Amino acid sequence: METKIIPMEIPENCNIIIGQSHFIKTVEDLYEIMVGISSQVKFGIAFCEASGDCLIRTAGNEPNLEQIATKNAQSLGAGHSFILLLKEAFPINFLNAIKQCPEVCHIYCATANPVQVIIAETEQGRGILGVVDGFSPQGVESADDVTVRKQFLRQIGYKL
């Protein structure tokens, strides 16, 4: 087995969701979840099929994001993985619905941070071992940091 680190391309002002699923229907179900929750979200999905034709299946409503999601999926080459790039929305608004999608087995990350995916490659193929999401902590928040965090969450409407 060989391990590889694959950096993900995340366009400016976008978030990425990386997960594992198990069926060709995934790409259509994820599409329906996205448009069903938000009429303004822009997104692209790429799903790496792991049996049959072993194609990268794609969908989305923003061609550029669909193209970049596909490029990321090609770099990963990990069976039954999916990449979802979104903008003009936050992952938190979609995660519960995505987790409830019958085909979705696991979510590795949902972030706007730089992401590296750790891949295992065997003679059979590739699989995701995990992700590096962002950077290591630089300290512990102070009382002032707590105040700023709480104000920010209320400013963007996630807390009352």
Predicted local confidence at residue 23, as pLDDT: 86
- Cβ proximity of 21 and 107 under 8 Å: no
Per-residue CA distances from 17 to 56, 83, 147, 159 (Å): 16, 6, 29, 23
Q: What is the mean pLDDT of residues 63-92?
A: 97
- CA torsion through residues 97, 16, 125, 56, sign: positive
The per-residue pLDDT of the chain, averaged, comes to 95
Burial class of 138 by CB neighbour count within 10 A (0 to 12, 13 to 18, 19+): exposed
Q: What is the mean pLDDT of residues 62-72?
A: 98
Q: How confident is the model at residue 133 (pLDDT cuts 50, 70, 90)?
A: very high
Average pLDDT over residues 41-64: 96
DSSP-assigned letters across all residues of 124-158: S-EEEEEEEES----S---HHHHHHHHHHHHHTTS
Residue indicated by tokens 């193929």: 125
Closest-CA residue to 69 (of 7, 130, 10): 10
Its pTM stands at 0.93
pLDDT at 159 over 90: no
Predicted confidence at residue 46, as pLDDT, reads 98
Q: Give residue 24's pLDDT.
A: 84
Whole-number pLDDT of residue 138: 93
Region 76-99 average pLDDT: 96
Q: Please list, residue by residue across 29-62, b when 16 or more beta carbons sit within 10 angstroms of its beta carbon and e when fewer do.
A: bbbebbeeebeebbbbbbbbbbeeeeebbbbbeb
Q: What residues contact residue 21 under an 8 Å CB cut-off, 6+ apart?
A: 47, 80, 81, 82, 101, 103, 104, 105
